[in-house]
Structures are given as structure tokens and as C-alpha cells.
């Protein structure tokens, strides 16, 4: 359900962006804003996990640096039947954890030093399992992604044609009136 909400949100924001282009006038603006919307969605899909990690100042941790944490993540991933995600630590005293990634192959689990200090190993494993189960490693189906992209592109083309057609009609009427005067 969260995947569908994300697709609807990104699709809606894309259509809103194209609508702003239409309000600014001209087929070129609609095409430009449509291209910007496609670019934003592409960037969001492939790089959002890196942005989240950077915002939270998370850094990758190697198995020899945190063997217990890596063992927990490996066990949870095995039980879930997914590849082991990359493991990151945030140098923060507040208890927090999250999982992100566009699919299981590109999954990431991040925890703060605070949560590692406060929780027992069993509790921390439960938090990691919860975060991984929440959809941090789920996939948005390809057909659904491509359908949203197709709708945005079709809307952009249609709006550009409609704007161009209306502009031509207005220009023709204006020229006819000017010639008649």
C-alpha cells in the first residue's frame, strides 16, 4: 500500500509540475516542466537512499567494526529471504533506525549509536527486523512505475499540443482582426 501511495504522490507532483508549466504558458514550458518532472522522478528513484543517508550523517560500517550488528542484519535478511543489506551507523545519541533502498539488492539498514547503546541485542534485532519489514527493501512493481511515467509523458504531450493549438487559434484571430483594421 505504501508503494502505491508513493507512486500516486510522485505522479501527482509530476502532473502538478506540468500544470505549472502550462500556466506559465506555451508548449515549450509544458515540455520543459514535463522533462523536469521525469528527471526528478528518475533522480528520486535511484538516489533517494543516498540522500537520506547523507542527511542523517550515516557512514558504512564493515563487519570487523561491528560484528554483532552485521550478524543481526544477516540473520534477519536470511529469515526474510532477501540479500543482506548494507549496514550504516549514524553517530547520534538518540535511539533511531531505518531501512531504505529501491529494492532488496540495493537495501540499506542504518542505526544510531544511541539505539545500539540503549537496547539489548535481542531488542535491536527486533527493531532491525521491523524496519526491514516496513518496506525499506520492497520493490515498486515495474509495470506500475512505467505506467505512471507513461501517464506523465502522455499528459505533457497532450497539454503541449492543446496549448499550441489554442495559441495558434488566438494568433490567427488576432492577425485577422489586425488585417481587417
Please state whether beta strands 86-90 and 58-60 pair in parallel, antiparallel, or not at all (unpaired).
antiparallel
Environment class of 66 (CB within 10 Å of its CB; exposed 0-12, middle 13-18, buried 19+): middle
Please state whether beta strands 86-90 and 108-112 pair in parallel, antiparallel, or not at all (unpaired).
parallel
pTM of the model: 0.65
- Edge-first strand order for the sheet with 86-90 is 58-60, 86-90, 108-112, 97-100
Q: Say whether 123 is catalytic.
A: no
Q: Which of 75, 131, 150, 175 is catalytic?
A: 131
**Residue 113 and residue 93 in contact, taking contact as beta carbons nearer than 8 Å:** yes
pLDDT score, position 102: 80
Q: Is 26 left (phi over 0), alpha (psi -120 to 50) or beta?
A: left
3-state secondary structure of 58: strand
pLDDT tens digit at each of 181 positions of the chain: 666 777 788 888 888 888 888 888 777 788 888 888 888 888 888 888 888 899 899 999 999 999 999 999 999 999 888 899 999 999 999 999 999 888 888 889 999 999 999 999 999 999 999 988 875 544 444 444 444 555 555 655 665 666 555 544 444 433 444 444 4
User: What are the helix (H) ranges across the chain?
Assistant: 2-24, 27-55, 67-80, 113-118, 121-131, 142-180
What domains can you pick out in the chain, each with its CATH number? 1-55+141-181 (no CATH), 58-140 (3.30.2010.10)
Q: What is the C-alpha separation between 92 and 113, in angstroms, rounded?
A: 6
Amino acid at each position: 500500500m505504501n508503494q502505491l501511495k508513493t507512486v500516486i504522490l510522485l505522479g501527482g507532483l509530476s502532473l502538478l509540475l506540468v500544470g505549472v508549466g502550462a500556466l506559465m504558458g506555451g508548449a515549450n514550458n509544458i515540455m520543459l516542466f514535463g522533462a523536469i518532472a521525469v528527471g526528478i522522478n528518475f533522480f528520486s528513484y535511484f538516489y533517494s537512499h543516498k540522500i537520506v543517508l547523507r542527511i542523517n550523517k550515516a557512514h558504512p560500517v564493515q563487519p570487523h567494526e561491528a560484528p554483532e550488528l552485521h550478524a543481526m542484519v544477516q540473520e534477519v535478511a536470511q529469515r526474510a529471504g532477501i540479500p543482506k543489506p548494507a549496514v550504516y551507523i549514524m553517530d547520534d545519541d538518540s535511539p533511531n533506525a531505518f531501512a531504505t533502498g529501491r529494492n532488496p539488492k540495493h537495501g540499506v539498514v542504518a542505526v544510531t549509536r544511541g539505539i545500539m547503546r540503549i537496547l539489548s541485542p535481542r531488542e535491536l534485532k527486533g527493531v532491525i527486523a521491523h524496519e526491514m519489514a516496513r518496506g525499506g527493501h520492497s520493490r515498486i512493481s515495474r509495470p506500475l512505475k512505467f505506467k505512471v511515467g507513461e501517464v506523465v509523458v502522455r499528459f505533457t504531450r497532450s497539454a503541449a499540443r492543446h496549448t499550441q493549438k489554442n495559441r495558434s487559434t488566438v494568433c490567427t484571430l488576432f492577425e485577422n482582426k489586425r488585417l481587417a483594421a
